[in-house]
Amino acid sequence: MRVIQTSAITKNIREMCIEANHFLSDDMKAVLEEKVEEEKAPLGKQILNQLRENLQIAGEDMIPICQDTGMAVVFMEIGQEVHFEGGLLEDAVNEGVRQGYTEGFLRKSVVKDPLIRENTKDNTPAVIHYEMIAGDKVKITVAPKGFGSENMSRVFMLKPADGIEGVKKAVLTAVKDAGPNACPPMVVGVGIGGTFEKCALLAKKALTRDVNEHSAIPYVKEMEEELLDEINKTGIGPGGLGGSTTAFAVNINTYPTHIAGLPVAINICCHVNRHIARVI
């Protein structure tokens, strides 16, 4: 049994909230550079160059890469040989978010009640997803999620007979309906299977996968490539102003489901697709 102090969780999440909001992950930086060179539409190329310049200024001046610093989504993959000491794990996670957003001067966007709308003033609570895994390590993934793109997300409860073509149609419908509102170029996370809530979680976690990494399942990999091609043919383009770069990637996760259903969730993220992971 390995003992981890909850103070270590707080410290890491504090740092990760600040880092994720100021610097793009390496995979997102690489794909942006690639698309700047590939985009043929003059206005689309201009927008991509502006995004690249914004990224450079954010890093040099230590200001957020986007004014919407998001609601903190935290994935905790916890080895079953780990024991936490020093307080409740959930309290430690939220304290890390509180410190990161207040001490990092990040915008506080969370309201305590969804209808009364009083701001919590420290961006807590986070949305936390726990998963037990083998071993004595803890993997933390912090993914601040802005709501311009979050609001464009969809869940479709398809019939099994809809099959692969029905899934593709659902994804393309969600992307076309989102249009410029998701701040393209976007990353499209897709969850297929499970239940109503499981497919949404699959889609959310898909956004944290490296954009250059495809599913290990051959037919899913083919879907990812085909859907990316179809999305980029829509002409929505960077900033919704036209071009061939509407999406950087389509990441699909699947899970077993019931014989009577085919749940599909599409969780769209904007061009920054913030995520950072650490193992402690």
**pLDDT at residue 255, rounded to an integer:** 98
Q: What is the mean pLDDT of each run of 10 residues along the chain (280 residues)?
A: 98 98 95 96 97 94 95 98 98 98 98 98 98 98 97 98 98 97 97 98 98 97 98 98 98 98 98 97
Q: How far apart are CA 224 and CA 233, in angstroms?
A: 14
- Quick: pLDDT tens for 149-207: 999 999 999 999 999 999 999 999 999 999 999 999 999 999 999 999 999 999 999 99
Q: What is the CATH number of domain 2-20+65-145?
A: 3.30.360
CATH 3.30.360 in the chain: give the residue spans. Answer: 2-20+65-145
Residues 206 and 251: beta-carbon distance below 8 Å: yes
**pLDDT at residue 190, rounded to an integer:** 98
**pLDDT at residue 81, rounded to an integer:** 98
**Ranges assigned E (strand) in the chain:** 2-5, 71-79, 82-85, 127-133, 138-145, 154-158, 186-194, 247-257, 262-269, 276-279
